[in-house]
Amino acid sequence: MPQEERTIVKSASAAEEPNREDRGRDERYNPHQIEEKWFKRWQQDSSLYAAEPHSSKPKYYVLEMLPYPSGALHMGHVRNYAIGDALARYMWMNGYNVLHPMGWDSFGLPAENAAISAKVPPREWTLRNIANMKAQMKRLGFGYDWSREITTCLPDYYKWNQWFFLKLYRRGLAYRKKSKVNWCPKCATVLANEQVVGGCCWRHEDTPVEQRELEQWFLRITNYADELLRDLDRLPGWPEKVRIMQRNWIGRSEGTLVDFRLDGPSGEKISVFTTRVDTILGATSVQLAPQHTITEKLAAADPELRKKVDQLIAEQAKAKETGDIGNIEKHGVNTGHFAINPYNGEKVPVWVANYILMDYGTGAIMSVPAHDERDFEFAKKYGIEIRQVIEPSVARAPSPAKEVSDKSVRPTQSGEMPFTTLAFAEQKGFGKATVTFRLKDWGISRQRYWGTPIPMVYCDEDGVVPVAEKDLPVILPENVEITLTGGSPLVQVPEFLNTTCPKCGGLARRETDTMDTFVDSSWYFYRYTDAHNERAPFDSKIAGYWFGEKGIDQYIGGVEHAILHLIYSRFWTKFMRDLGLIKNSEPVERLFTQGMVIKGGAKMSKSLGNVVAPDEMIARFGADAARMYSLFAAPPDRDLDWQESGIEGIQRFLSRLYRFVAKNAHPNDAAWNKSIPTELSPEARAIQRKLHQTIKRVTDDFQGRWHFNTCIAATMELVNELYSSEIVGERASSPAIPLSLLADVQRNLVLLLAPFAPFLAHELWEMLGGKSSLLKAPWPKYDPELAKEEEIEIPVQVNGKLRGKIVIAPGVGEEEIKQRALADEKFQSYIAGKQIVKVIFTGKLVSIVVR
RNA sequence: GCCGGGAUGGCGGAAUUGGCAGACGCGCUGGACUUAGGAUCCAGUGCCGUAAAAGGCGUGCAGGUUCAAGUCCUGUUCCCGGCACCA
């Protein structure tokens, strides 16, 4: 690592103190030297972070989301992995058998883009990036079990994607359908609806998505829609925020499908979905999405209408583009045709409107202006009749009752009608109760090279035929030219394309589409448990051990994956359960979503020029400081504003700690390992008390709230106390404290910091004479007796205002405390001559109320 | 527009159950050490006020409940994230 050596030299010279004898070189904290030393040692022992296959210890599976190997880690990764690593180390120290793996989500478009721009084959580019990022992770000291590393773009992994696909196909959960798909002209590929951001490609945010019709493979995630929804209630370890987002994404809605008919010789059906079939007599128009098939037909015969519809489509696209579809200025056009209300035979006008979305429900609605605000707004704008048919009318709309026309049906109470109207519809056969979901089937076909080949074959004789399991994997060919033109590059590879039919042995074509990379990440965490299995994706027993009944103990990642990745993973888990591979129904018991790393209030981005590179931070401050700062600057669930001066502060703290231990470690002294005397001087006792209070605070904040920032702050306080103490700090000429206590304080302090700054902690542990490995040294315990204060300050309020404090010994009774407060001279000016209404003591504070 | 989260000193943040607002870090000010300090150590640092005190004000804004509110309630503004006019 020549680059790092250079920085070591640089930083050493920057802090150089030529020929100063008063401070030995040993006392200066040199993170690069320390980190290099431990880096080398840890390199030599691959079993260090390995999970035990058979263990009497309780298991703990801690997982961070695997990265896409884009080339280098960014600060968001560092933060994510610093959180996970701190937790893994904490659990190791608490005696758990910890599984803490890492891998690479290594299929995907950027590799193809790199192939085009840099002329590097995707595989080579990807593997090079992986090597670089893996080195960065090791340099940062993250404790992963690399023997379980998975790389999704390699055949030993993607073979099982194909295997799963065949299972899905056999169960009818994978199917082909022709459908309009989102087409990104830049990627020259199809995007899932979920991958469209504001009408634009999620990767090319300024490229509007076009619509094309293609034959696609879909996975029937909707078969699991109800279960995916229901089980959200069984995930108390997930942030409420994420559960709500998923609930909204699934979007279950109970209502009625009603068939209107187009008035005219064709009498075509117009199905509408409504949750308020009880208002159907108030329907005064039917509204179609601009892309509706009936819209298309009517427009085909009417050039004027065609023009207007095209404009509506353009408006809708524009609104989607700006992400403002929810706020679209409503426009519509009257087709001049009518639809027949099946309930009363009434003819109502058929409109086409820009706010009706083709991809929700049936793409058509009945418009009931008196009982729906949006319909009301539209009707007012275009002068469509508003007819109230039930009580009450639309909430908050300005009294539409006034505009009820002569044709009003007598209003009934809301809720009276749905049952009878629905029953009537079902009896007459023009409507039925329906549950719709917003969730759509998962389109996984990609017209890309760098992905898992879909293991299907097209034969002129036998049609669509699955590849035989024994012939897996279908290997992705190498040396493929990537072009930007549409269609999959695999079409251009005859050796791949041309094959034989598994059924008849005749000539056949392979499927040239590859799979969405969300397939890879939907089940990767099971593979970690048994990463080298060649006969199955994983062994059920082994996965069963690590997943238990509830899944991964703790999953940590960015909130941006709250919906897609996490809902696909949940679906895949349920599917694998139904296959009999696993017992758990959910993949993740506890989920943690960390905040973003920002700089100057803005997301880090190349265009803003505010990107902070981890390598640079490591070079300047060391890995420990970089990791620790990312935990200190904010609680982990909040956004973190990266401040250079902040990480300098952390480095200062680590230096302070290092110097203290360098000066106060005396492991060869006979008194060092003796037991701590029970009788201590008040000064020594104060240090001991602070230590035990610190252990309590760090443990509580780590365990309960994950507020690593306050954990670290607590250890800072302890170090400050040590420095300012009269008996050990700089002020003390020689330590006037029992060496055994001095040893105890330092050892515990180092243990408390081990999850956050592993390099320095190991170095100091060694300096303190630690023999066993720090990694699995037991987490410190505090003694509540030793943590107890000897005197307690009780604040005293008079009429709600703080007026001073009294000092009491622990154990003094409530009455005495009240009396002491009332009698105290300090408060006489506030209470003398006034009537004391009451005195409150709550255990923390005395409150005197006077009149 | 809907859903979710947030707003606390000059800055990042702390305050875990309604009980001392501002822990810890940064920055700033002063001092010590020093040829030097951008190293290190010590002290101070919410705002107004004062020679110093006393005193007053203070958690986006306006109200409310309470002996007591950053924390609970009602209303409201702004910022961030997500989204779906979802019928």
Tell me how many degrees the CA angle A592-A595-A598 measures, rounded to the nearest 5: 160
Q: What is the per-residue pLDDT for A248?
A: 82
Mean pLDDT (chain A, rounded):
83
d(CA A253, CA A721): 60
C1’ B8 / CA A765, Å: 39
Least Cα distance to A676 among A668, A665, A687 occurs for A687
Mean pLDDT over residues A636-654, rounded? Answer: 89
Q: Is the pLDDT score of A304 beyond 50?
A: yes
Least Cα distance to A630 among A88, A137, A79 occurs for A79
Q: Is the CB of A840 under 7 A from strand B?
A: yes
Q: Is the pLDDT score of A318 beyond 50?
A: yes
Within residues 593-622 of protein chain A, the ones with CB less than 7 A from nucleic strand B are: 603
User: Which two structure tokens, joined as six digits, stand for A159?
Assistant: 């073979």
pLDDT-derived band at A409, boundaries 50, 70, 90: very low
Mean pLDDT is lowest, of A321-330, A352-361, A434-443, A669-678, for A321-330
Least Cα distance to A180 among A440, A492, A354, A491 occurs for A440
Q: What is the per-residue pLDDT for A70?
A: 86
d(CA A162, CA A456): 9
Q: Is the pLDDT score of A23 beyond 60?
A: no
Q: What is the per-residue pLDDT for A383?
A: 84
Q: What is the per-residue pLDDT for A461?
A: 92
Q: Is the CB of A492 under 7 A from strand B?
A: no
Q: What is the per-residue pLDDT for A752?
A: 97
Query: Which of the pair, A619 or A376, is modelled with greater confidence?
Result: A619
Q: Is the CB of A830 under 7 A from strand B?
A: no
Q: What is the per-residue pLDDT for A391?
A: 59
Most confident of the following: A93-102, A409-418, A585-594: A93-102
SS3 of A724-782: HCCCCCCCCCCCCCCHHHHHHHHHHHHHHHCCCCHHHHHHHHHHCCCCCCHHHCCCCCC
Beta strand A200-201 with A150-151: parallel, antiparallel or unpaired? unpaired
DSSP-derived secondary structure letter, A102: -
Residue A670's H or E segment, with its range, is none
Mean pLDDT over residues A66-92, rounded? Answer: 92
Q: What is the per-residue pLDDT for A602?
A: 64
pLDDT-derived band at A768, boundaries 50, 70, 90: very high
Within residues 767-806 of protein chain A, the ones with CB less than 7 A from nucleic strand B are: 793, 795, 797, 799-802, 805
C1’ B20 / CA A528, Å: 51
Residue environment code for A16-35, b if the CB has 16+ CB neighbours within 10 A, otherwise e: eeeeeeeeeeeebbbbbebb
Q: Is the pLDDT score of A781 beyond 90?
A: yes
Instruction: Identify the residue whose Cα has the smallest distance to the C1' of B23.
Output: A713
Q: Is the pLDDT score of A816 beyond 70?
A: yes
Q: How far is CA A143 from the centre of its chain?
A: 21
- Local structure of A655: helix, strand or coil: helix
Q: How far is CA A766 from the centre of its chain?
A: 38
Q: How far is CA A275 from the centre of its chain?
A: 33
d(CA A150, CA A161): 13
pLDDT-derived band at A819, boundaries 50, 70, 90: confident
Q: Is the pLDDT score of A247 beyond 80?
A: yes
Place of tokens 């987002």: A245
Nearest nt (C1') to A331 (CA)? Answer: B85
Q: Is the pLDDT score of A280 beyond 60?
A: yes
Query: Half-sphere exposure (CA, 13 Å, Cβ side) for A237?
Result: 15
Q: What is the per-residue pLDDT for A8?
A: 25
Q: What is the pLDDT of residues A713-759, one digit of tens each?
A: 999 999 999 988 877 755 555 557 889 999 999 999 999 999 999 99
pLDDT-derived band at A184, boundaries 50, 70, 90: confident
Q: What is the per-residue pLDDT for A607?
A: 61
Which residue type does A732 have? A
Q: Is the CB of A814 under 7 A from strand B?
A: no
The percent helix, strand, coil of chain A (3-state, each to 5) is 45, 20, 40
C1’ B33 / CA A725, Å: 19
Nearest nt (C1') to A632 (CA)? Answer: B25
Among residues of chain A, what percentage have pLDDT more than 70?
A: 86
Q: Is the pLDDT score of A509 beyond 90?
A: yes
Q: Is the pLDDT score of A471 beyond 90?
A: yes
Q: Is the CB of A245 under 7 A from strand B?
A: yes
d(CA A819, CA A811): 15
Q: What is the per-residue pLDDT for A403?
A: 38
Nearest nt (C1') to A371 (CA)? Answer: B87
pLDDT-derived band at A418, boundaries 50, 70, 90: very low
C1’ B60 / CA A600, Å: 20
Q: What is the per-residue pLDDT for A818?
A: 86
Q: Is the pLDDT score of A588 beyond 60?
A: yes
Q: Is the pLDDT score of A86 beyond 70?
A: yes
Q: Is the pLDDT score of A252 beyond 90?
A: no
**Taking the model in full, what pTM does it have?**
0.87
Which residue type does A536 have? A
Q: Is the CB of A290 under 7 A from strand B?
A: no
Residue A40 has a CB neighbour count (10 Å cut-off) of 9
Mean pLDDT over residues A379-404, rounded? Answer: 59
Among residues of chain A, what percentage have pLDDT more than 90?
A: 42
E strand spans, A601-639: 602-603
Q: What is the per-residue pLDDT for A91?
A: 96
User: Which two structure tokens, joined as six digits, stand for A809?
Assistant: 């010994």
Q: What is the pLDDT of residues A189-212, one digit of tens each?
A: 666 554 555 556 656 666 767 777
Mean pLDDT over residues A692-706, rounded? Answer: 91
Q: Is the CB of A641 under 7 A from strand B?
A: yes
pLDDT-derived band at A319, boundaries 50, 70, 90: low
Instruction: Identify the residue whose Cα has the smallest distance to the C1' of B66.
Output: A800
Q: What is the per-residue pLDDT for A275?
A: 79
